[in-house]
Amino acid sequence: MTETRPYLVNGEWRTGEGTLVVKSPYDDSVVAEIGVPTAADVEEATAVAAETFKTSQHLPVHVRSEALDHISKRLAQDIDKNAKLIAAEGGKPLKWATVEATRASSTFRWASEVLRHGTDEAGRLDTEAAFAGRMGISRRFPYGPVLGITPFNFPLNLVAHKVAPSLAVGAPIVVKPASATPIGSLVLAEYFAETDLPKGMFQVLTVNSKVADGMARDARFRKISFTGSADIGWYLKSLDPKKRVTLELGGNAGVIVHKDADLDLAAARVAFGSYYQAGQSCISVQRILVQSEVYEDFAVRLTKQVESLKTGDPMDPTVDVGPVINRGEVDRIAEWVQEAVSQGAEVLVGGKGEGPLYYPTLLSQTRPEMKVRCEEIFGPVATISPYETFEDALDEVNNSKYGLQAGVFTNDINRAFLAHRTLEVGGVIINDVSAFRADQMPYGGSKDSGFGREGLRFAMEEMTEPRIMVLSHVPL
């Protein structure tokens, strides 16, 4: 019999009532059974977060920073163990799960470094005769308790991107992890419990979406940080206009390959960026736009790269592409591909599923109105299309309701700056794919892709507000 894994409320590990069964998306084996919090647990966690905020916002920098450093070091010690948990619960291939486990350690380290560096500002205000003898000191203060809602596809590092900045600014956080992949959040809770921070600063509630909806409506949570689908994200933002909300939502990222690019580099990186997470990433490459003079050549190179990817058991360290999160998603992806084919699309490689797997698929002869191009497929499927001028490609990338990130392969610095100025996205990645992310950089989207920014310094700003103190009649 599998032992029920507990969740964390008010510093106590509890099993609640009933269990949430976490299964491997690859073979349906039971990975863990997680306790389900009671209604009383949810109320207690919320009340404790609100009460803890009264003191946590005043914690010295060194106390918060030392705790963040401890969690970072523990993550670094347990990379192999945590990578296996990520691969088991979410189906992410072990090689990429190891990357995620490593990045989570960096995320906490960056939060500590930003915190120690500080953001306070001082400035003279005696710029006008009427303001003589005045000086301003501006500091940032946290809004209040944070509700963090996280997705299945990065069960450790995307939780870290909500927990680390919250702890850094002194704001208690309650995390509602994805039901399919809750273990990563519990691992972080174990490391947190080893620190000297108040026990109410980080709690994990493995509840369902209905319960989370009630938590999002609770006025005691002054801030929501959500990563997930656009429909749910914008719904959460509509609940309370006074509540601060950061949304990291979906995308159907475009990548431009111009004729002056290194085509071998571009083919290798596009193959990675389209399929490394079975396409289950909001910045996964979905639309590949290639300058017409090199289109046929590049399509051949990319097809070879895609054919070389190994699909299968995520626990196999040589596997590049693992399973889709569940069989229903396999069926949906297959339906979208078949619909595109019935409308004239051509399958260059892939185009089929088997059990929990959908094989890396590359489609040509698609049109902008097809679902595989205009919607977020969130699976291992990409489309490839030619364009004539660079400006045409920029227009096509912008021809989307999404705007998270885009990649541009070119060796012309002027084109790089033109892309940066023109593309309606949160990030433009030059000579790499949209799927690139460094954990310290500002990360987020425009249009339907989100609201606000993550990335440690930027997430900390999203969780705080500036407050100025004016010193009057001082000898400047």
Rounded to an integer, the average pLDDT of 13-26 is 96
| Alpha carbons within 13 A on the beta-carbon side of 456 | 26
Domain boundaries, the chain: 4-249+450-468, 253-439
Query: CA–CA separation, 453 vs 27, rounded Å?
Result: 36
Q: Phi and psi for 247 in degrees, rounded to 5?
A: -120, 125
How high is the mean pLDDT of the chain?
97
- Asked if the model's pLDDT at residue 379 lies above 80, the reply is yes
Assign domain 4-249+450-468 to its CATH superfamily. Answer: Aldehyde Dehydrogenase; Chain A, domain 1 (3.40.605.10)
Can 4-249+450-468 and 253-439 be said to share one CATH topology?
no
* pLDDT digits 0-9 by tens, 164-216: 999 999 999 999 999 999 999 999 999 999 999 999 999 999 999 999 999 99
Q: Is 376 a catalytic residue?
A: no
Residue 3: band (very low, low, confident or very high) from pLDDT cuts 50, 70, 90:
confident
Question: Is 248 among the residues known to form the active site?
Answer: yes
Rounded-to-integer distance, Cα 101 and Cα 105, Å: 7
* Among 1-15, 272-286, 380-394, the least confident range: 1-15
Q: Which of 282, 376, 454, 462 is catalytic?
A: 282
Looking at the predicted structure, is the pLDDT value of residue 326 above 80? yes
Structure tokens at 206: 């493995």
pLDDT in tens, 129-168: 999 999 999 999 999 999 999 999 999 999 999 999 999 9
Q: Report the candidate in 67, 6, 462 with the shortest Cα–Cα distance to residue 227.
A: 462
Q: What is the pTM of this model?
A: 0.96
Specify the CATH number for 253-439; select among 3.20.20.110, 3.40.309.10, 2.40.50.140, 3.50.50.60.
Answer: 3.40.309.10
Rounded mean pLDDT, 226-251: 96
What separation, in Å, do the N-terminal and C-terminal C-alpha atoms of the chain show? 72
Decide if 337 contacts 344 (C-beta within 8 A): no
Residue 73 pLDDT greater than 90, yes or no: yes
Check 44, 248, 329, 376 and give the catalytic one. 248
